[in-house]
Amino acid sequence: GQQLNQSPQSMFIQEGEDVSMNCTSSSIFNTWLWYKQDPGEGPVLLIALYKAGELTSNGRLTAQFGITRKDSFLNISASIPSDVGIYFCAGQRAGNNRKLIWGLGTSLAVNP
Amino acid sequence: NAGVMQNPRHLVRRRGQEARLRCSPMKGHSHVYWYRQLPEEGLKFMVYLQKENIIDESGMPKERFSAEFPKEGPSILRIQQVVRGDSAAYFCASSPTFPDRGPALYGYTFGSGTRLTVV
């Protein structure tokens, strides 16, 4: 099945640094979502994007829906230890609103 | 019940046994989605159900797997004659209505998952 190309696969950063990760697809998406998953838990929605070019913030998190509708990025500013976890992008293709297609995740480790 | 409840959290089955995973959606939600997550991978869609109806099961393996969402009670994902390759985390999500603009707008919420281990 299709998956999104998410990079980087993992990151190890110092507390206070900014983080950037992105997702790309060969298909056009009409929705991009960014989730965070803590160990042993289900994904929790961070940011949802619905329009090409849309830039949305949630606290220290900022995400953008690419103009081509085939990519999205997530930035985390001034990282803190509780940012540790796996971040997933997910998207919905135009005309198919029932399924989410997922990236493989970016594992983030923050050194205090 | 503030969220999507899945049980059991952990399930161990021997090869050939049956596994039954339960999902109680959020109050007021009538749409349920099941996803499977293998280690080090993202989630893969399995099935989308409304009360008493399977809407989309294109992600379900053709054999041994079935799902239901009865009028009363939780949604059940059933795996018959489990094999080692079925070992994974199974997540359920629910939403209150057909998500025209994307699940997030309508509160598409995930449960904590059931981790199935086949020995």
Note whether A93 and A4 are within 8 A (CB): no
Nearest alpha-carbon partner for A59 in A71, A51, A47, A41: A47
Q: Do B43 and A31 touch (CB under 8 A)?
A: no
> Has residue B106 got a pLDDT over 70?
no
pLDDT at position A2, please?
Answer: 67
- Confidence band for B28, pLDDT divided at 50, 70 and 90: confident
Chain segment A37-77, per-residue pLDDT in tens: 998 899 998 998 989 999 999 999 999 999 999 999 999 99
pLDDT at position B111, please?
Answer: 94
Q: Which residue, among B7, B10, B36, B43, would best test binding to A if mutated, counting the most A CBs under 10 Å from its CB?
A: B43
Q: Tell me the average pLDDT across B65-88.
A: 96
Residues in chain A within 8 Å Cβ distance of B61: none
Window 85-104 of A, Cβ < 8 Å to B = 88, 90, 92, 97-104
